[in-house]
Chains A and B, each alone.
Chain A
């Protein structure tokens, strides 16, 4: 077990290092890296504009920047935001807990709604329930995140609920299809034919078959939720990292973007790592 955990942590560290480097490279090669709005300010002299441009180019050598960043990271220094002139460690310390809380709530609510609806439609076989569930999931998956976020601001509802409503259709769709596939299995058909109760069939025969994919989906749902939550935070002006991420992207704030990439990679990779471990443990114990 310790060996497995150690290898998993090593893998996580490796992914984070690679993601940071690749992300930094993408940011560097994308046009506009050295651009600053002050270059358009006609009140600035030529020397000032050149100085602004040179300052932006100071981190242009990505390998050197990244090596320096990693050396600082070991000392606990995450660098300074070019845009906000504040230590990134302080920025993340203030904002990350808010986003993590919203993320956890959004994922939990999305799974509760998605899985409950998927299971209910299979258990009851009710066409009305199925139509309602499909209608709801169709509605929310077709609604732009920005529009739903604005509606939630209008109705003074919590933004994490908006994120949950946007993620749950995906959870519902996958779970519904997986459970139905499970019901198509020969041994399940046999159990139903022999009069086994629907709850019993779901819990003891269908769920175990669908579990590995659902666990994989659980890991991936973190990434889906992050993708939805960050723009919602930006629109609803929640002081999480969503607001920060958008400003950092438009301002090409390299140190902040690299840190945010590492945070997202950590959350995504550790979620998938956890789901892989859970899947391996559960499928091994079944055998």
Chain B
């Protein structure tokens, strides 16, 4: 048998396996996701695997979880019995691990049901907010203590960093893009911006417009012009009518005066750096080890469109929710609404 024949045979076998796998996947009743880790893994935190039974009948399976080779976790394997449509979070204790500078941690989750099995592969981030005090000046040299989250959208890079101290919650976002379109008062023109939402742990995004918001939501923008300073707007507070999220409101009345914002261009990168008073989000009860929920949207209307952290964090398609993010005058949504704005995040002390 020639090498060509072997290759052809392998290709055919590969296709058969592939089709079989796709067919199984199409009918696979379980959705699986590994949550973000909220403090550095070396400190031995707890994280979760979330599973959802999509069937109208109950579903039993065995799940095997594997993080990096040298990690010790418990449990490694467990049985799950889910009622119809049930979603369940299974705690996974990380007992031994090493923090990686790349902040990309591969997870392999194998679901075994009868004689079938399916392997889900996902990269999780450590989404954590260490204590430090950066100077808000558009220069990120003093953000070294942060744990950056990097992802690509249509080949363009975004890097997100968060930090906190007793007085401020700090955010820095680097956006690779060709040009920066800034905010102008009373203009409807689409602009570049960074939108982020923060919510206390255990809160959920409403799915109907008659409910109240449980999140804090902010928008930071460049504001070009002599004597003009870059701006931070507060789009939502807990207790606000969630229906307001659908209204394209004017931004001017929503500006927060005591936030510090600097937006700077450096070659093909836009740097957004923002500091908001911790008192504004006191409901989170910030303290070391405290979990909360957070996500980011980067608006790049003349480039990649919206870059959604939820999308690269393994959220499920049905977790797109129009009510998870507030509209504003000048926003350019895409065909599908963004993913939920509640990813797992945490306050920590340091990455060292």
Decide whether A and B assemble into one complex.
no
B-to-A contact residues, CB < 8 Å: none
